[in-house]
């Protein structure tokens, strides 16, 4: 099966109707959403959600879960939350749960902080896999798992049966600016453990202002595919060489245009330069 292409609804914010309308017009068939979709519809309105997707010819492929995994006192609450998300995913025929790490401390994570991440993600992954949903840790700037050394530490210790990686081209590059090959290095090093992908670009010339914290921050120096410095072709080549046949999802936190125009630009780059198809 070839690599499949989806788009994240983050660019539209919480306007689900406009998200689905635009994605259908742009030719997408799959999309990722934040947890608010599962929270708003749940199982009481599951039929309504499924009818909405069917009306636009779209399918849910993943949800972004995560949370405050730096805090061991929230462990059970966080696990239960992600299990609820996994049940919603499974009910919609989707099987990828993206785990955003806990918020980064000013001094960076300690060894114990990272071990807390590992413990929590292993438990989430074990319980979601029982529902047919693969949990995927998402290295992300401004979180506990940002630097290459932190990624390696966590990936060496999570149980590969329960926790895969959701690799993100722009977060890997922005989080490790001193390593200009960071995104490709990670894609190659963990090719057999990458089970979901976010594609986006980064322009270090833009102001790095953001809103929100940790894994939910809206980062404004991320840009449309092909407009920044990320080696997108190298990352895709690494996936192809590894025989990856899952979803790659276009994602853009913030647009200086309109969501439709920004995603159209990224779609066209993906088709014309990366030779992927919707």
Q: Which of 129, 126, 151, 125 is nearest to 138 (CA)?
A: 151
Residue 91 included in any domain: yes
Q: Which of 58, 11, 67 is nearest to 39 (CA)?
A: 67
Q: Which residues of 126-154 are buried (b: 16+ CB within 10 A; e: fewer)?
A: ebbbebebbbbbbbbbbbbbbbbebbebb
Residue 163 included in any domain: yes
Give the whole-angstrom CA distance, residue 123 versus residue 111. 19
Give the whole-angstrom CA distance, residue 235 versus residue 159. 24
Residue 188 included in any domain: yes
pTM, 2 dp: 0.96
Residue 82 included in any domain: yes
Residue 109 included in any domain: yes
Show the beta-strand stretches assigned E in the chain.
4-8, 30-34, 59-64, 96-99, 134-137, 163-168, 194-199, 201-202, 210-211, 218-219, 222-223, 247-250
Residue 47 included in any domain: yes
- Measured CA to CA in angstroms, residue 270 lies from 3, 61, 254 at distances of 12, 19, 18
pLDDT of residue 214: 55
Q: Which of 178, 163, 165, 186 is nearest to 238 (CA)?
A: 186
pLDDT of residue 72: 61
Is residue 210 classed as helix, strand or coil in its secondary structure? strand
Domain extent for 107: 4-272
* CATH label of the domain that carries residue 68: 3.20.20.150
pLDDT of residue 2: 87
Residue 277 included in any domain: no
User: What residues of the chain score a pLDDT lower than 70?
Assistant: 67-73, 210-217
Number of domains into which the chain is organized? 1
Residue 278 included in any domain: no
């Amino acid at each position: 099966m070839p690599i499949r292409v989806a788009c994240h609804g983050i660019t539209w914010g919480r306007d689900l109707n406009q998200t689905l309308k635009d994605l259908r017009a742009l030719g997408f068939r799959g999309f990722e959403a934040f947890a608010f979709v599962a929270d708003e519809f749940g199982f009481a309105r599951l039929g309504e959600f499924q009818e909405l997707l069917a009306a636009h010819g779209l399918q849910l492929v993943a949800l972004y879960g995560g949370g405050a995994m730096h805090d061991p006192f929230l462990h059970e609450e966080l696990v239960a939350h992600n299990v609820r998300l996994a049940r919603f995913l499974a009910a919609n025929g989707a099987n990828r749960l993206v785990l955003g790490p806990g918020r980064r401390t000013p001094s960076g994570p300690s060894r114990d902080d990272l071990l807390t991440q590992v413990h929590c993600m292993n438990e989430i992954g074990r319980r979601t896999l029982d529902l047919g949903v693969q949990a995927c840790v998402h290295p992300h700037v401004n979180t506990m798992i940002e630097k290459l050394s932190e990624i390696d530490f966590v990936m060496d210790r999570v149980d590969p049966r329960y926790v895969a990686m959701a690799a993100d081209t722009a977060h890997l590059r922005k989080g490790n600016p001193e390593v200009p090959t960071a995104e490709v290095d990670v894609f190659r090093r963990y090719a057999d453990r990458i089970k979901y992908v976010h594609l986006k670009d980064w322009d270090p010339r833009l102001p790095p202002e953001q809103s929100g914290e940790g894994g939910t921050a809206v980062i404004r120096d991320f840009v449309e595919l092909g407009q920044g410095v990320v080696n997108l072709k190298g990352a895709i080549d690494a996936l192809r060489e590894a025989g990856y046949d899952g979803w790659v999802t276009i994602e853009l936190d913030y647009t200086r245009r309109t969501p439709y125009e920004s995603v159209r630009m990224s779609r066209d780059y993906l088709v014309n330069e990366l030779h992927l198809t919707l």
